[in-house]
Chains A and B, each alone.
Chain A
Amino acid sequence: MNAREEVLARIRAANANAGVGLGGGVRGPGADDDGDIPREYHRGGGPAPGSPPLLDLLRRRLVDYRASVVDAAPGDEPAAIRAALAAASAEHPRGSAEHPPPSADNPPGSAEHSPRSAEYPPDSAGRGGGAVLVPPGLPAGWCPDGVVDGGFTAVELDGFAAVVTGCAAACALTGTIALDGSPDQGRRAITLVPDVHVCVVRADQVVHGVPELLARLDPTRPITLISGPSATSDIEFDRVEGVHGPRTLAVILVTDPTDPTDPTA
């Protein structure tokens, strides 16, 4: 008996021994036990997607976990993206604790100090120049000077200071943004290696809870759920931000202030 057959046989025997299940592994196709699961937790019924209370909750949750968030009206995304990139560079200038100057643990010439990084911060006009990476499907005009991902290697990705993307959905209750690899978000690596992630969230993408968030996602796509910048609780259970993923997460919330009842307007 090969390992597969043996493990499956052990499971059937164990269930039979414990008096559980049918033990024979012979059940009709599509057999579903889900009717027996008590799903009395909240599965919807909260504020409508994109409604002002939800957006307010999302803002608070994001800030609570050290992401920054700014509002932008539809059409103002390019300016908001420029401002977010400039703010990220001002907040974490080279030589600060977050971007330490070359040192023994961070020697010059290492991937962290590749020539591309030197182009960051953005130029005086607030544009990211060559240091900002964008996915192939980012809406035209959002980040005119961004470099479109052309399948860069990991080391090449590390030369970019920032990345700008859209998102698939967002969950207000937990302050979570979901990426699913759609053209405006790109492959997973591009939102991981650069140190700054600017993410544009449309109000109509914002749902209340985790069930509503997962219901909006296609499980066959590669999905990343992001709740704030990278963090760790590994030292004395003390949460600190800034480990391997982007150390800055800037969210731009696109909402029409003239029509708060219709976020999709």
Chain B
Amino acid sequence: MTAAFLGIPAPPGVGQLRGGRPFPAAARDALADSQLRRNLGHATGVIRTKRAAAVGELDDWEQLRLAGEAIKRATMARLDDHLVRLEAEVTARGGTVHWARDAHEANAIVTGLVQATGATELVKVKSMATQEIGLNAALADAGITAHETDLAELIIQLGDDVPSHILVPAIHRNRAEIRELFLREMPGVDPSLTAEPRRLAMAARAHLRRTFLRARVAVSGANFGVAETGSLVVVESEGNGRMCLTLPETLITVMGIEKVVPSWRDLEVFLQLLPRSSTGERMNPYTSTWTGVTPGDGPQAFHLVLLDNGRTAALGDAVGRDALHCIRCSACLNVCPVYERTGGHAYGSVYPGPIGAVLSPQLTGIHSGSDDNASLPYASSLCGACYDVCPVRIDIPSLLVRLRTAHVDAARDRPLPTAEALTMAAAAWVMSSPTRFAAAETASRLGRLAGRATGRLSSLPPPLSAWTSSRDAPRPPEETFRQWWSRTRGGPAHPAGQANPPPPGGFAGPAGSAEPRGSAGPAGPAGSAGPAGSAGPAGSA
């Protein structure tokens, strides 16, 4: 997506970052699964309520978010220095630091380290980085068994399933389904097991106990790595993390390079933002920090693998790099109307939901207009809910618009324009003229009248129907941005649209209202979009 790149080009990442088909096709199947939709609707409803309560308890939440955003931005600006410092501190305290350009290199490093211990099995703490690189499969190829120990990961592993959420990978399964799975797949399980979550959790405890007690090697991810001290941080709930970080002789931690924070003091911000945003708790049950090796306490061999795998490619984009600020809390998934209906599998990548829609295509790169990941930035209504809940204030809607533009650019060479290319071009053309922009907004209000009966537009005319055939479009808002602006500021707005040429084929129909928050449109007042924000240029839902 970057035209001219100075210096070393950053190659795209590889691993579990794409599905076998584009989002609309995968979403269509997910939408047909009513059990899936019920499970997702229930679970995301529960967590949205809990999160709101936990966040509402703090009167300095916005100040924490601002600090979190600023720390991440400052960290990325000097990422090289912070990583070098982290490496020096870990090394000085008895750890060993490895660098991996991509997933293959990281897998080879970890496999080699495990083989050097002579172990043929290991225990794992849930970690997005190791899922991303497909570590378990690489270890299996080398004859090493990786035991997932997080309850949800265990559910996934026992069911030979795929994660669908970054925090609760088995969110698509309800308690009855989990009980059936345990009865079927867990050796020696009590046949009287009920579907009560507490009983299911205890079945997992009994199942994993002996595995923990005999494990000699553990693999973890890291939520944070503190440059100034060399401390690594794992935030968890169940105690499986503590088991892995404490009992084995050898600990191997795989950490994305963007997880570094400059100072110990920075944790005071993130350890408030993360638990309240992710599980809706004041504090998660267990947070472990360790610095190198501590004689007589915990693993006596510690390896830290620093992973790039496409992160530097994302870093090279002035807008897209903000996706690297993500602390993987999953709040944006839980509020996303698209995620709630399609679930995580439709996104293909281990990173689903709004953050996945901006992170996955950046990590892999969008190689052509027909790239599967190219459809991900359209898996959003641009409603802005993800930005409102994001603890580090990542403006996901703006990033989505940015990536859509990149995708449209990539698709230009194709003989027949895709629906999204047409609509993006149409939107750009509309936005480049104040008159056309106003006309389009008015037209979209007519669309609102049309959708009033159900509150949803179940289809749009071609070519937009390519998007609404699998998803309902939200109704355009009662009041357009320009109307809001003239009403509240008393003057005509001057949208700063880009002067793009008219779309190929002379497509002239106004295509849904423009998105005020997007980088291509006028700057909207902060927070004005909300759930009532106008539909995006693609008319997607």
Contact = CB atoms under 8 A, between A and B. Distances in A.
B202 A100 contact: yes
A225 interface: yes
Interface string A187-224: 11100110000000000000000110011000111111
B190 A233 contact: no
A6 interface: yes
A38 interface: yes
A103 B267 CA distance: 43
Given A14-B312, A34-B262, A245 B242 contact: yes
Interface in A12-38: 12-21, 25, 27, 31-34, 36-38
B532 interface: no
Nearest to A61: B282
A235 B238 contact: no
Interface in B375-415: none
A224 B288 contact: yes
B496 interface: no
A104 B205 contact: no
Contacts of A236: 39, 42-43, 46, 171, 174-175, 197
Given A100-B202, A227-B282, A7 B67 contact: no
A166 B285 CA distance: 18
A110 interface: yes
Given A41-B63, A227-B284, A231-B237, A222 B47 contact: no
Find the residue from B9, B208, B239, B316 having the highest chain A CB count within 10 A: B239
Interface stretch (A79-87, A123-131, A173-181, A250-258): A173-181
A236 B265 CA distance: 34
B80 A234 contact: no
A140 interface: no
B201 interface: yes
Interface in B218-248: 226, 229, 231, 237-240, 242-243, 245-247
B511 interface: no
A242 B203 contact: no
Contacts of B60: 40-42
B290 to A, nearest CB: 5
A11 B257 contact: yes
B238 A14 contact: no
Contacts of A27: 78, 81
Given A242-B205, A243-B237, A188 B312 contact: no
Interface string B458-474: 00000000000000000
A223 B9 CA distance: 40
A7 B316 contact: no
Contact of A192 (B8, B246, B308): B246
Contact of A187 (B67, B77, B279, B296): B296
B264 interface: yes
A17 B283 contact: no
B5 A245 contact: no
Interface string B38-49: 010011101100
A219 B229 contact: yes
Contact of B298 (A110, A188, A241): A188
Given A3-B99, A112-B206, A210 B78 contact: no
Interface string B51-89: 000000000100110110011001011111101100100
A154 interface: yes
Contacts of B213: 111, 154-155, 158, 193
Contact of A231 (B43, B149, B178, B238): B238
A146 interface: no
Nearest to A3: B99
Contacts of B78: 21, 27, 31, 33
A4 B83 CA distance: 10
A222 B170 CA distance: 31
A31 B206 CA distance: 50
Nearest to B238: A243
Nearest to B65: A41
B433 interface: no
A107 interface: yes
B70 to A, nearest CB: 5
Contacts of B76: 15, 20
B206 A106 contact: yes
Interface string B150-189: 1110010000000000001011001100100000001011
A230 B286 contact: yes
A24 B220 CA distance: 32
A259 interface: no
Interface stretch (B113-121, B268-276, B481-489): B268-276
B150 A214 contact: no
Contacts of B247: 154, 189, 192-193
Interface string A76-101: 00000000000000000000011010
A85 B74 CA distance: 49
Nearest to B60: A41
B63 A244 contact: no
B288 A223 contact: yes
A214 B296 contact: no
A88 B246 CA distance: 25
Given A37-B71, A239-B279, A12 B316 contact: no
Given A111-B213, A214-B268, A226-B285, A244 B208 contact: yes
B327 interface: no
A61 B191 CA distance: 37
A187 B298 contact: yes
B168 to A, nearest CB: 5
B210 A110 contact: yes
Interface in B117-144: none
Interface in B186-217: 186, 188-191, 193, 197-210, 212-214
A181 B74 CA distance: 33
Given A100-B202, A242-B205, A225 B283 contact: yes
Contact of A237 (B81, B100, B171, B264): B171
B463 to A, nearest CB: 34
B209 A112 contact: yes
A214 B266 CA distance: 10
A173 B151 contact: no
Contacts of B289: 219, 222-223
Nearest to A244: B239
A238 B78 CA distance: 40
Contacts of A111: 209-210, 213
B206 A225 contact: no
Nearest to A24: B80
B145 interface: no
Given A3-B98, A15-B315, 17 more contacts: A3-B100, A7-B101, A13-B10, A25-B81, A37-B74, A41-B60, A105-B193, A105-B206, A187-B297, A192-B242, A214-B265, A223-B288, A227-B282, A233-B168, A234-B150, A239-B281, A244-B208
17 contacts: A2-B99, A7-B99, A7-B306, A9-B7, A65-B285, A105-B189, A105-B207, A175-B282, A222-B290, A222-B291, A224-B286, A224-B287, A224-B288, A242-B201, A243-B239, A244-B149, A245-B242
